[in-house]
Amino acid sequence: MNRQSREVFLFVNLSVDSGYYGVNHGIAYLVPIVRKHSYTASLLHIGVEMGDEEFRRTIRNLNPSIIGYSFTSPQLKFLEKYSKAASDLPGILQIAGGVGATVSPEAVLLRTSVDGLVIGEGEIPLDLLLTARREHGNIYETQGFCWRVKGELRKNAIPQFVSDLDKLEFPDYGLFDHDVIFSVGTHLSVIVSRGCPYSCNYCSNPVLRGVYPSRHGYCRVNSVEYSIKLLEHLIREFPKAEGFGFEDDLLISRKKWFLDFADEYRRRIRLPYRINVRAEDVDEEIVEALEKSGCFQTLLGVESGNEDFRKEILNRHHSNSELISKAKLIRKAGIKIFSFNIVGFPFEERRHLRDTLKMNRQIKPDDGVCTFFYPLPGTKLYEICRKEGLLCSEGRLEMPTNYNTYPMIPKSLRQREACIKTQKQLKRYFKRTTIRKIRRRVRRNRRRIENRVREYFVTRMSRQRLLARWTKDP
Ligand code: B12
Ligand code: SF4
């Protein structure tokens, strides 16, 4: 056994009060890389804030030589806190990665105590870093990394992304606790693609593809065979799984791929699943494939119910009528709809908020969520907010760790109250739909029980009548 086989690579998944406690796919894909270099991979999943001293104690116990934090932008303050807490523990290299690092690398390095961070996808840079460490090379030259060397920032060239996703080893979710893996009931969350072809102004996706020398081919998907094999592997590994939740940004946007995949899924997997959809990509063929392959719920982005606002401010170009007709198509196939809504955008007026409510009543989702707009660094809307002086102070901007805390952008109290009111109205609407659904199910069950009872008595009566006839006959 060589010296490195005893070294520990500790992933720290920052997910403090994020409202979601699921697995981190990025970490799951990096675990095989770390193991390939003979490190022991371990994981600290922080869902609830822990004190500095507790963190340091945990680190001392786990004794890593490298800590790799994974974080999204709203978690930056926790990266600052924990990396500072661990900074005086001797002999530990602290690195970070994730969308939070990719969208604002310089700011992260200036504010936190990590030594370096990965910009973009981590498989290639991490492989290069661990190779350099093993071969005693200069780690500060590692491509894809940005470092703080003697107080100066050093940004290295970014290697092209892995163009063939099938070359990657299966992600390893084994380090996550059972309740994190099954945080959405009995469904396993999974991802078989990278990137989204659209460019919504509030989303980090355009920023993520923008970091590469060439964006050509950035939207990638695993082959159908790899994807199905991955699902089969996960079913074997987690036999309790009763379904899948595809967290890919938009699998159905690759129509031919999706039709082939759905066909194979129906033959070989046969478990219910949920998936993200966008109105433009939904058509009869896609809906039929979804239905036949076992999709029980589609997650549909409504975001704003006002067509002009959606086009001009959000860069989403589907019409209201398209949204309504595609939702109808999905409902007709018996597939549930979960609608995603956002309120509190810059320039959003009360009439826009009313339209969002109205749109939900028209598409009739089974359930949904309404969150407050959060200006993510690097996005078009973040820039617009900055130019218009709409961003609140940094301290306040960092208070929420999820999108449900309060509206960040509206300047006037009245507008802010209007957003909160719309969110409440939508919440009530979704709750009522759920109650209606439960009542319908109870009514259906009651009818089924009544029918059974009736059937029982009818058969008993006819049997008695038959018996009576037989006994009368000589
Ligand atoms: C699946 C998903 C989730 C899942 C899982 C989250 C997770 N951490 O994996 C759930 C539902 C839990 C979730 C929740 C949230 N999410 Co989310 N989510 C996504 C989604 C759709 C895909 C992410 C993914 O799995 N990608 C595939 C993997 C392989 O890539 P990756 O995670 O980026 O990891 C790679 C690199 O980043 C890097 N890397 C990652 N970690 C590390 C660590 C080290 C040490 C190194 C070296 C490299 C490295 O290497 C990885 C492999 O290539 C993205 C959209 C997107 N396209 O990225 C949004 C996204 C990441 N989510 C986002 C947000 C904001 C949230 C929430 C805050 C939402 C909320 N609460 O309201 C929460 C917060 C979660 C948290 N822990 O902080 C934003 C983040 C924006 C930003 N600037 O940070 C995104 C980009 C969507 C958007 N609207 O723009 N999310
Ligand atoms: S469609 Fe969804 S994932 Fe794609 S850019 Fe828009 S918000 Fe982001």
SS3 per residue for 63-119: CCCEEEEECCHHHHHHHHHHHHHHCCCCCCEEEEECHHHHHCHHHHHHHCCCCEEEC
Query: How much is the pLDDT for 440?
Result: 79
Higher model confidence: residue 463 or residue 157?
157
Give pLDDT tens digits for 207-227.
999 999 888 999 999 999 999
Evaluate whether 75 touches 45 at the Cβ level (below 8 Å).
no
And the tokens for 424? 């409440």
Whether residue 11 contacts residue 41, with contact meaning beta carbons closer than 8 Å, is answered with yes
Least confident of 15-24, 330-339, 456-465: 456-465
C-alpha separations of 290 from 97, 246, 250, 268, 366 in Å: 34, 13, 13, 15, 17
The mean of the pLDDT values for the chain is: 92
Is 407's pLDDT higher than 80?
yes
What is the pLDDT averaged over residues 21-47?
96
Please indicate whether residue 203, judged by its CB atom, sits closer than 6 Å to ligand 2.
yes
The answer, yes or no, to whether residue 349 has pLDDT greater than 70, is: yes
User: Is pLDDT above 50 for 419?
Assistant: yes
The predicted-structure confidence for 164-196, as pLDDT tens digits, reads as follows: 999 999 999 999 999 899 887 889 999 999 999
The residues near 216 (Cβ < 8 Å, ≥ 6 apart) are: none
Which ligand 1 atom is at minimum distance from the Cα of 378? 83
Residues 126-140, mean pLDDT to the nearest whole number:
96
CA 299/CA 359 separation, integer angstroms: 15
- Residue 232 pLDDT class (50, 70, 90 cuts): very high
Q: What is the pLDDT of residue 30?
A: 98
- Residue 311 above 50 pLDDT? yes
- Of the two residues 390 and 197, the one the predictor is more confident about is 197
- 406 pLDDT more than 50: yes
In the reported structure, the alpha carbon of residue 391 is separated from the centroid of ligand 2 by a whole-number distance in angstroms of 22
Which of 202, 203, 298 maximizes ligand 2 atoms within 8 Å of its Cβ, making it the mutation to test the pocket? 203
Provide the residue ranges of all domains of the chain, joining segments of one domain with +.
Answer: 3-155, 184-442
User: Residues 381-390: what's their mean pLDDT?
Assistant: 92
Which CA distances in Å does 349 have to 68, 244, 301?
43, 38, 20
Q: 42 CA distance to ligand 1 centroid (A)? A: 19
Convert the pLDDT of each residue in 285-301 to its tens digit: 999 999 999 999 999 99
Q: How confident is the model at residue 474 (pLDDT cuts 50, 70, 90)?
A: very low
- Over residues 29-56, mean pLDDT: 96
- The answer to whether residue 470 scores a pLDDT higher than 80 is no
Tell me: domain 3-155, CATH 3.40.50.280, correct? yes
Q: How confident is the model at residue 14 (pLDDT cuts 50, 70, 90)?
A: very high
pLDDT of residue 185: 82
Q: What is the pLDDT of residue 206?
A: 95
pLDDT of residue 6: 81
Q: Which residue has a Cα nearest atom 19 of ligand 1?
A: 247
Is residue 205 in contact with ligand 2, taking CB distance under 6 Å? yes
- If you average pLDDT over residues 366-376, what whole number do you get? 93
pLDDT, mean of residues 376-402: 82
Minimum mean pLDDT range among 167-181, 226-240, 357-371, 385-399: 385-399
Using CB distances shorter than 6 Å, the residues near ligand 1 are 15, 18-20, 22, 24-27, 29-30, 68, 70, 72-75, 95-100, 103, 118, 121-123, 126, 191, 194, 203-205, 247, 249, 371, 376, 402-403
Residues in CB range of 191: below 8 A, 6 or more apart: 25, 171, 246, 247, 248
Q: What is the pLDDT of residue 5?
A: 55
Q: Which 3 state secondary structure label does DSSP give 152?
A: strand
pLDDT at 348 over 70: yes
The percent of residues above 90 in pLDDT, for the chain, comes to: 78
Q: Look up the pTM and report it.
A: 0.92
Question: Alpha carbon of 199 to those of 82, 212, 314, 326, 358: distances in Å?
Answer: 33, 16, 9, 21, 25
Q: How far is the CA of 206 from the centre of ligand 2 (A)?
A: 9
Q: For residue 361, is pLDDT > 90?
A: yes
For residue 466, what pLDDT is reported?
A: 65
For the segment 268-286, what is each residue's pLDDT rounded down to a tens digit? 999 999 999 999 999 999 9
What's the pLDDT score for residue 77?
Answer: 93
pLDDT exceeds cutoff 50 at 87: yes
Confidence of residue 472 (pLDDT cuts 50, 70, 90): low
Residues 435/440/443/448 CA torsion (nearest 10 deg): -140
Q: Whose CA is nearest to atom 50 of ligand 1?
A: 122
| Mutational pocket test of ligand 1: of 10, 69, 72, 277, the residue with most ligand atoms within 8 Å of the beta carbon | 72
d(Cα 323, Cα 310) in Å, to the nearest integer? Answer: 12
Q: How far is the CA of 140 from the centre of ligand 1 (A)?
A: 26
pLDDT of residue 4: 47
Q: What is the mean pLDDT of residues 130-138?
A: 95
pLDDT at 3 over 50: no
**Residue range 184-442, CATH number:** 3.80.30.20
